[in-house]
Amino acid sequence: MMIDQKMHHTEPMCALDPLLLIPRIEYVQDIHEFVLAQERPYSLVVLDMKNFHVVNDLYNYDTGDRVIAGFMRNLRAWLPKGSISLRFRHGDEFLFFLPLEHAAAAKLFESFRKHCEATPALTMESGQLIIVSYRFAVIELIQAEKMEAMLLRAEKALREVKGQGSPRG
């Protein structure tokens, strides 16, 4: 059976990541425009899970999916109303648009990080505890800034955080 290539290209893309039910990165432009149209300050948090690949390698992808789904479910409970989460490039990177100023967004993600590092994300049948740790960077959104420039600034901020001696996991 041949696939109709024309029909394949006209099919709409899934709007949500099927595992996490959050928008996919393909929608960052629309979300960026929406957020900039709001009449309040927004910050962007870029987050990279430090030990996610280890979970996939030691256990399996189903376990990794359970860990990441639980992580996002817990994080959503911490995010303020009006926040938008996106799955970024790799399976363990995320963007969060928060209706908060820079300092408040940083404080929230630092508090959540401490919570994650003190609370197992998953307990395996063997009794092994899986702890989620992550790095994050926060930038304030600038009204006239294009989406591409915003992402470059966020990625640079995260690289700087990674270079501060944060342990790799």
Give residue-wise pLDDT tens across range 67-83.
999 999 999 999 999 99
Please state which of the ranges 2-6, 43-47, 141-145 shows the lowest mean pLDDT. 2-6
- Is 83 part of any domain? yes
| Residue-wise pLDDT tens digits, 84-137 | 999 887 778 999 999 999 999 999 999 999 999 898 888 888 888 888 889 999
- Is 40 part of any domain? yes
CA distances to 45, 100, 113, 137, 151 from 157, in Å: 10, 18, 18, 6, 10
In the sheet where 134-140 sits, what is the strand order? 84-87, 93-98, 43-49, 134-140
DSSP assignment of 63-91, as one string?
HHHHHHHHHHHHHHHHSPTT-EEEE-SST
User: 15 by DSSP, 3-state: which?
Assistant: coil
- Is 113 part of any domain? yes
User: Rounded to an integer, what distance in angstroms lies between the CA atom of residue 20 and that of residue 16?
Assistant: 8
- Is 79 part of any domain? yes
- Is 67 part of any domain? yes
Residue 139's nearest CA partner among 167, 169, 101 is 101
Amino acid identity at 144: A
User: What range does the domain containing 60 cover?
Assistant: 20-162
Amino acid identity at 56: N
Indicate the average pLDDT of the chain: 85
124: β partners: none
Give the domain CATH number at 149: 3.30.70.270
- pTM to 2 decimal places: 0.84
Stated as kind and residue range, the H or E segment containing 140 is strand 134-140
